[in-house]
Amino acid sequence: MSRLKVLLALIGALGVALAGLPANAMTIERIVSPAGIEAWLVRESAVPLIALNYAFTGGSSEDPADKTGLANLAASLLDEGAGELDAKAFHERMENRAIELGFNVGRDNFHGTMRVLNEHRDEAFELLRLALSAPRFDADAVERVRGQVLSGLRRETSSPNSIASRRWWETAFAGHPYGRQTNGTLETVPRITVDDLKTFPKRVFAREGLKIAIVGDIDAKTAGVLIDRAFASLPAKGDLKPPQPVIPRGLGRRIVVDVDVPQAVVTFGAPGIARSDPDFMAAYIVNHILGGGSFSSRLYREVREKRGLAYSVSDNLIWFRQSAVFIGGTATRADRTGEALAIIEQEIKRMAESGPTEEEVAKAKSYLKGSYALGLDTSGKIASQLVQMQIDNLGIDYVQRRSAMIDAVTLADTRRVAKRLFDGGLLVTVAGRPKGLASQGQ
Q: Which is nearer to another protein, 239 or 311 (CB)?
A: 311
Reduced to 3 states, what is the DSSP secondary structure of residue 318? strand
Min dist CB 257 to another protein, Å, is: 13
Q: DSSP class of residue 236?
A: S
Q: Which is nearer to another protein, 18 or 225 (CB)?
A: 18
Q: Which is nearer to another protein, 239 or 359 (CB)?
A: 359
Reduced to 3 states, what is the DSSP secondary structure of residue 143? helix
Is 371 near another protein (CB under 8 A)?
yes
One residue of 29, 35, 43, 47 binding another protein per CB under 8 A: 47
Is 136 near another protein (CB under 8 A)?
no
Instruction: Please state, in angstroms and rounded to a whole number, the distance separating the CA atoms of residues 26 and 38.
Output: 19
Is 263 near another protein (CB under 8 A)?
yes
Q: Which is nearer to another protein, 214 or 324 (CB)?
A: 214
Instruction: Please state, in angstroms and rounded to a whole number, the distance separating the CA atoms of residues 180 and 103.
Output: 19
User: Read out DSSP for 146-177?
Assistant: HHHHHHHHHHHTT-HHHHHHHHHHHHHTTTSG
One residue of 232, 373, 405, 411 binding another protein per CB under 8 A: 373
Q: Which is nearer to another protein, 174 or 408 (CB)?
A: 408
CA distances from 205 to 48, 70, 147, 391, 406 (A): 29, 14, 25, 16, 36
Total Cβ atoms within 10 A of residue 342: 11
Q: Which is nearer to another protein, 53 or 323 (CB)?
A: 53
Residues contacting 85, CB < 8 A, separation 6+: 93, 130
Q: Which residue, 182, 180, 110, 190, is CA-closest to 151? A: 190
Is 278 near another protein (CB under 8 A)?
no
Q: What letter represents residue 382's amino acid?
A: I
Would you give the binding string for another protein spanning residues 152-191, x where CB under 8 A is met? x-xx-xxxx-------------------------------
Please give the biggest Cα pair distance in the chain: 72
Is 260 near another protein (CB under 8 A)?
yes
Is 369 near another protein (CB under 8 A)?
yes
Min dist CB 431 to another protein, Å, is: 10
One residue of 36, 48, 235, 441 binding another protein per CB under 8 A: 48
**Beta bridge mates, 326:** 270, 317
One residue of 97, 191, 203, 416 binding another protein per CB under 8 A: 97
One residue of 28, 77, 105, 265 binding another protein per CB under 8 A: 265
Q: Which is nearer to another protein, 210 or 215 (CB)?
A: 215
User: Sheet holding 49-57: strands in order across?
Assistant: 29-32, 38-43, 211-216, 49-57, 109-117, 100-105
Instruction: Please state, in angstroms and rounded to a whole number, the distance separating the CA atoms of residues 366 and 171.
Output: 36
Is 25 near another protein (CB under 8 A)?
yes
Residues binding another protein: what is the number (CB under 8 A)? 78
Q: Which is nearer to another protein, 97 or 203 (CB)?
A: 97
Min dist CB 208 to another protein, Å, is: 31
Stretch that binds another protein, among 218-226, 317-325, 371-379, 385-393 (CB under 8 A): 371-379
Is 3 near another protein (CB under 8 A)?
yes
Residue 345 burial (C-beta neighbours within 10 Å; 0-12, 13-18, 19+): middle
Is 49 near another protein (CB under 8 A)?
yes
Min dist CB 221 to another protein, Å, is: 22
One residue of 239, 377, 407, 423 binding another protein per CB under 8 A: 377
Min dist CB 210 to another protein, Å, is: 25
Instruction: Please state, in angstroms and rounded to a whole number, the distance separating the CA atoms of residues 44 and 42.
Output: 6
One residue of 171, 294, 316, 400 binding another protein per CB under 8 A: 294
Question: Cα dihedral angle (83, 85, 86, 87), rounded to 10 degrees?
Answer: -100
Instruction: Please state, in angstroms and rounded to a whole number, the distance separating the CA atoms of residues 68 and 63.
Output: 5
Min dist CB 139 to another protein, Å, is: 12
Q: What letter represents residue 341's amino acid?
A: L
Would you give the binding string for another protein spanning residues 296-335, x where CB under 8 A is met? x-------xxxxxxxxx------------------xxx--
CB 253 within 8 A of CB 171: yes
Reduced to 3 states, what is the DSSP secondary structure of residue 422? helix
